[in-house]
Structure 1
Amino acid sequence: MQRRKVRLIPSRPIFAVLAVGAVVGLNACSPSGGAGSVPTKSPDPAPVVDITAAGGDQVNPTTPIEVSAHDGKLTSVTVTNPSGKQVQGAMAGDGSGWRTTEVLGYDTDYEVTATAAGKAGKTTTQHKTIHTLTPKAKAYPSLIPVPKSGNDVGVGQPIVVRFDHAIKNRAAAERAMQVTATPDQPGSWSWISNKEVHYRPKDYWKPGTQVSVKINLYGVDLGDGVYGETDRTLDFHVHDAWVAKADGNTEQMQIFHNGQFVRAMPISMGKDITPTHVGAHVISDKQQKYTMDSCTYGVCPGQPGYYRTDEFFAERISNDGEFVHENPASVAQQGSSNVSHGCINLDQDNAAWFFQNFGLGDVVEVTNSGGPPLPVWDTYGDWSLPWDKWKAGSALP
């Protein structure tokens, strides 16, 4: 039998196979390889700066602009208005944040630039424009008593806020208006109209009371696109209680100082066709000489009942033309009959004494005049409503 020749092929060196395996293993674990690679975080990332203000492109001007830094600390923040004036702000102690400390303006673009530095010296600067909301209208709150130094009023003085625009969201307005009385006394706001709200205590103010009023309406949404135009403050002191009690049956007016009777005066009140309103009146103005003109309430020259005359020691007790004042022409009727157009007439001596002792906020209570109650909307008919009805005029529970 012929033997078949077998060709021997040299095998590959074993070290080569191992080398290939080593390369394959290296590629599978390399962080720079393809699928399955694990990235590593840079040890010193660049800082991140965030600029925020709630409200999107309609930021409420009372909302602060806030700046924060991550992976670093803020080194500078500037906020400027269109005229280039910088807005004041405060930096957190660790440099992680910053926020404005003054209120902004309505309908204004503010340019914000903030820079932060990281640990390895890397810096990031961020820019952003913040736009504040644009009100449809701004409501200005005028105040009575008029804010001034040394305000001193009587125990019947209400706090009056009058707006130049109608207020739909009355509850929001009330929540923004704070009254603090020392000593503390129960009190409430009550709306006279959609543009006027008054505050009074349950009973007359206690003599010696200090009252502080804070009208924090700026930035407050008052409804229908109307926002508060500004904040205001008012402080006043309540002096001794001066209350006059005018009685149409006796034709006398008794004067009480801190509850003690001090004087009685003969008077003449409004005649039958122009009776004096009954109820508690509050003195809102006083003039040594005052021209009274019936045309101010619709009775003008040529019409029956027209008059125009100068009166002295005149103190207004309602906007319906009612005053306490001197009237020499009615001295004979004072103490016996009512002949005026609605005023309380006094002789010269009593009128001068009354003028010297009674002032803004003091009270004249009228009874038995034959007239209707003083309307709550008249200046100031606030005390004509009992306490429960007065409180019902508030927009808050």
Structure 2
Amino acid sequence: MGRGAYGTAGLLALALLTACSAAPADDPEGVAMAGGARGAPVGVSPADKSTNVPTDQPVVVSVHGGTLKSVRVEGGKGGPLKGVLSSDGTRWRSLGTARPGTAYTVTAVSVDPAGRTSETRSAFSTVKGDKTFDIETITPNKDDTGLTVGIGMPIMIAFDKPITDRIAIERNLTVHSSKPVEGAWHWFDSQHVDFRPEKYWPAHTKVRVEAKLAGVRGAPGMYGKRDVRLDFKIGRSQITRGSTDEHVLVVRRNGKKIRTMPMSAGQGGQWKYYTTSGIHLAMSREPVTVMTSPGIGPGSPGYYRLTVYNTVRISNSGEYVHSAPWSVGSQGNSNVSHGCVNVSPDNAAWFIKNTLIGDPIIITGSPRKLEPTNGWGHWQQNWRQWLKWSSLKAGPTLALR
């Protein structure tokens, strides 16, 4: 397991880092004066002709005894660096990260108290990158969900290469939402980082994820290839609860009971076909699924191969809520399944139609517990456990405008 989280710096857009380059002893702000300018003196960091500048070191331009009229930082194919100007017009700082192996030119126009303008030019180049990394997948995605998801939906990012500089990555992952939530990132391993709120998302929340990773250092000599943005919506609040002891599923939407469905869960026994207890999430909706016995081949005792219909996946260990016409007589009174949640054909057709990916499906009563890494078992960890794998403090999402 790795460490990482969605800290205050990560949640409050891109962190404004302090300059790293050395400055002359008479420059207490750490911004060396650039030469060639007249009028109000202008300082630029990184210093002119600097090389091997870290990609996450901000460009800082400041003027003494005047104001800045404009600042441009251009880097060829890397494109310009955007920045912000202080309210008094005396200091400009870049946002985001520079591209590795890129030469940048800084052009600053300043105005002195007498109204005279002057131009200051400076140049620097960033450290070369031997390798790049990219986001392999980001979930939710349009193909699986249509981008309207349930209140339990996590944000899941998989990288194509192992990440060692996790703090740098998290500082450049921002989550915006139309309704604020407290949330945190969590590293399951060196290539997977996921975000979830402390509590379920509020219904009908709009969410935007911005992964501004182009040029961000992920490991020594390895930098982000591109930026990625994802927009999705949280749908109505729907939570399904089922008991392996009471043999019934109850669906509540926005707090109101809308459906009660007799069910049959895992039979246990010799093959330990238990349905896991815990907070599952709907992971997929499949009209047809072929199910086979795990670890048991054809001709062996306990082997099965079944084609089932209207299935909603709830774990990676082969658990579904699905149509089971063969067990209707047991639904509501006993457990006879191989570990899935059996419901009638009519109830299964209704459930797949009325379930969103990310809807919580909570099962109780089984001696086998859902593991946090089994499918999307993120809610199996309480908030303290979730933050255990966090190196930055949790914080509120940014407002979505």
TM above 0.5, yes or no, is yes
| Cα distance in 1, alignment partners of residues 185 and 154 from structure 2 | 10
Are residues 1:58 and 2:89 paired?
Answer: no
Q: Deviation per CA, 1:100-136, whole angstroms, max 9, x where unpaired?
A: 999765446x59799xxxxxxxxxxx99894652144
Aligned to 1:324: 321
Amino acid at match of 1:290: T
1:335 corresponds, among 329, 332, 350, to 332
Kept in 2: contact 1:112–1:128 (CA 8 A): yes
Inter-CA distance 279–181: structure 2 relative to 1 (3 Å threshold): same
Inter-CA distance 47–259: structure 2 relative to 1 (3 Å threshold): closer
Aligned to 2:302: 305
Kept in 2: contact 1:88–1:100 (CA 8 A): no
| Cα distance in 1, alignment partners of residues 134 and 126 from structure 2 | 21
| Cα distance in 2, alignment partners of residues 350 and 168 from structure 1 | 47
Corresponding residue SS for 2:303: coil
Amino acid at match of 1:382: H
Q: Write out aligned runs for 1:72-221 (5 A).
A: 105-107=99-101, 110=103, 130=125, 132-140=127-135, 142-146=137-141, 151-221=147-217
1:140 CA drift (Å): 2.7
Inter-CA distance 300–216: structure 2 relative to 1 (3 Å threshold): farther
1:360 CA drift (Å): 0.6
Aligned to 2:90: none
| Cα distance in 2, alignment partners of residues 233 and 258 from structure 1 | 29
Amino acid at match of 1:396: L
Aligned to 2:250: 254
| Cα distance in 2, alignment partners of residues 245 and 367 from structure 1 | 8
Q: Deviation per CA, 1:86-110, whole angstroms, max 9, x where unpaired?
A: 95589xxxxxxxx9999765446x5
1:376 corresponds, among 369, 372, 391, to 372
Amino acid at match of 1:291: V
Aligned to 1:290: 289
Amino acid at match of 2:133: K
Amino acid at match of 1:315: V
Inter-CA distance 284–342: structure 2 relative to 1 (3 Å threshold): same
Relative contact order, higher structure (CA 8 A, sep 6+): 2
1:181 CA drift (Å): 2.4
Kept in 1: contact 2:316–2:374 (CA 8 A): yes
Inter-CA distance 53–385: structure 2 relative to 1 (3 Å threshold): same
| Cα distance in 2, alignment partners of residues 260 and 164 from structure 1 | 43
Percent sequence identity over matched residues? 33
Aligned to 1:356: 353
1:137 CA drift (Å): 4.4
Inter-CA distance 47–222: structure 2 relative to 1 (3 Å threshold): closer
Inter-CA distance 184–105: structure 2 relative to 1 (3 Å threshold): closer
The number of aligned residues is 335
| Cα distance in 2, alignment partners of residues 393 and 80 from structure 1 | 37
Inter-CA distance 150–285: structure 2 relative to 1 (3 Å threshold): closer
Aligned to 1:392: 388
| Cα distance in 2, alignment partners of residues 176 and 111 from structure 1 | 21
Let me know the Cα RMSD of the aligned residues. Answer: 4.2
Q: Which runs of 5+ in 2 are unaligned?
A: 1-35, 63-71, 83-92, 108-120, 394-401
| Cα distance in 1, alignment partners of residues 285 and 312 from structure 2 | 4
TM-score (ref. length: structure 1): 0.70
| Cα distance in 2, alignment partners of residues 216 and 369 from structure 1 | 43
| Cα distance in 2, alignment partners of residues 86 and 363 from structure 1 | 43
Q: Which runs of 5+ in 1 are unaligned?
A: 1-45, 69-76, 91-98, 115-125
| Cα distance in 2, alignment partners of residues 214 and 318 from structure 1 | 28
Kept in 2: contact 1:60–1:133 (CA 8 A): no
Of residues 149-158 and 263-272 in structure 1, the stretch that sits farther from structure 2 once superposed is 149-158
1:172 CA drift (Å): 2.2
Corresponding residue SS for 1:388: helix
Amino acid at match of 1:276: T
Kept in 1: contact 2:278–2:370 (CA 8 A): yes
Amino acid at match of 1:343: C
| Cα distance in 1, alignment partners of residues 178 and 380 from structure 2 | 25
Q: Deviation per CA, 1:211-270, whole angstroms, max 9, x where unpaired?
A: 121112222223343332322112211111111111111101111111111221111111
| Cα distance in 2, alignment partners of residues 113 and 387 from structure 1 | 45
